Amino acid sequence: MRSVIKNVHLLDGTTDYGTGDLYIKDSLIEGINLSGEVDETIDGSGLTLCPAFIDLHAHLREPGQEVKEDLASGLAAAAAGGFGSVVSMANTKPTVDEAGIVADLVAKARKIGQARLFPAASLSHGLKGETLTDFGALKQAGAVMITDDGIPVQDSHLMRRACEYARELDLVIQTHSEDPGLRQSGVMNEGLVSQRLGLPGNPISAEAIMIFRDCEVAAMTGARVHIAHVSSKRGMQVIEWFKAQGHTNITAEVTPHHLTLDDSVFESFDTIYKVAPPLRTAEDVAYLRKAITKGVVDSIGTDHAPHTQAEKDLDMLQAPFGIPNIELTFPLLYSELVEKGAITLTRLIELLTVGPAKVMKWDIPTLEAGKAADLVLLDLATEKPVTPKSFKSKAKFSPWTGQNLKGWPVRTLVAGKPVYSA
């Protein structure tokens, strides 16, 4: 099978190739501006083509929580968002803490044939933070990352042993860096807004202290430690300090919601904004954006966290933490950051492709010949409102409902095959 996408703006996280024709042969990129007969021609006029995005942080809820999301809906949602590869989190029911569960997820995702699935496995059995899982067996079954995401690893000795184990296997440890003793039952950022609303707060210190602990253990062991969903200026400054000391094994992730929303939204008492770690202040949002331009941030992870509408309709103390956003990540960040001059389009694409690949030591996705034809066509000009009822995800709600955004994915290819078409 040979196809061509014609008259399209070609852009990846390293190079702007201008307008041209990209040829695909079977599952690989054949080259730019070639010639000869093709089986399919796609008109890319007015569109932008780049490598499909990579998400190192998505909650797909399977096994056990399929009422919220399952592999079929979650991977379809990822493809609709322009993602060709997704790392699924392990905090399911049962927890992904055995090799058999990992193998089952890999096999099922392959049959579904949507975005590529790369399961993460849990650091501790049952996310209890007491005993380590068998990292070696989990990796052999297909796990690419170790994380208890959703629950911080409280025991520093266990974290050390996990890092030493992961270093020997060259696995990434992803953290949920919050000090539980300081976080307590906080449902939003601790500050002026939480005090005014009378809601229990989660202080920035809870994040900064645990990020320091996790970075210090990474520095001690040499393990590859990825600090997930950094939400605060103080937390990012800790990472910045460690990186300045030369600890290249430490990487950092930010999320779409922490880059675009602040704690003032809670004035509405709407649980749709309840997320862990919480939305912080406008100053924190500004600093996270600054960290992107300074190169401190390595990747953007969605932290896509679907729940049922009934769960999110509970009150602020009982509703679960989490925002579904994988289908909106690119148009949201393109509209809010690129269009408004906060970052460049190339930098955004880098954070969604090159950055995650470097964190994982995967092949760097570009538009060069011989690379996997995992691609996304983007419409950067057309403005459309966010309409959750049309989501592929089972979570049909969004903090950005009705907001007009540009940059919507039009077509997503994985290994040269279409997995989404608008």
Q: Please give the helix or strand (H or E) that residue 11 lies within, else none.
A: strand 2-11
97, 303, 374, 379: which one is catalytic? 303
303 catalytic? Reply is yes
pLDDT tens profile 8-52: 999 999 999 999 999 999 999 999 999 999 999 999 999 999 999
The predicted pLDDT at position 380 comes to 98
Q: Which domains does the chain have, with CATH numbers?
A: 2-48+371-421 (2.30.40.10), 53-360 (3.20.20.140)
Q: Give which of 226, 232, 176 is closest to 203, Cα–Cα.
A: 232
- What's the whole-number mean pLDDT along residues 257-277? 97
The predicted pLDDT at position 130 comes to 98
Q: Token digits for 414?
A: 């994985």
The predicted pLDDT at position 355 comes to 98
The predicted pLDDT at position 189 comes to 98
- What's the whole-number mean pLDDT along residues 143-154? 97
Residues 6+ apart with CB under 8 A from 54: 83, 84, 85, 86, 299, 352, 353, 356, 357, 360, 362, 365
Q: Are strands 40-43 and 145-147 parallel, antiparallel or unpaired?
A: unpaired
pLDDT tens profile 308-341: 999 999 999 999 999 999 999 999 999 999 999 9
Backbone angles phi, psi at 224, to 5 degrees: -80, 110
pLDDT tens profile 389-407: 999 999 999 999 999 999 9
Q: Are 12 and 48 in contact (CB under 8 A)?
A: no
pTM higher than 0.95, yes or no? yes
- What's the whole-number mean pLDDT along residues 207-219? 98
Distance in angstroms (rounded) separating the CA atoms of residues 385 and 383: 7
Q: Token digits for 164?
A: 């030493």
The predicted pLDDT at position 414 comes to 98
The predicted pLDDT at position 23 comes to 98
The predicted pLDDT at position 185 comes to 96
- What's the whole-number mean pLDDT along residues 155-160? 98
The predicted pLDDT at position 173 comes to 98
149 — pLDDT class (breaks 50, 70, 90): very high
CA 412 to chain centre: 17
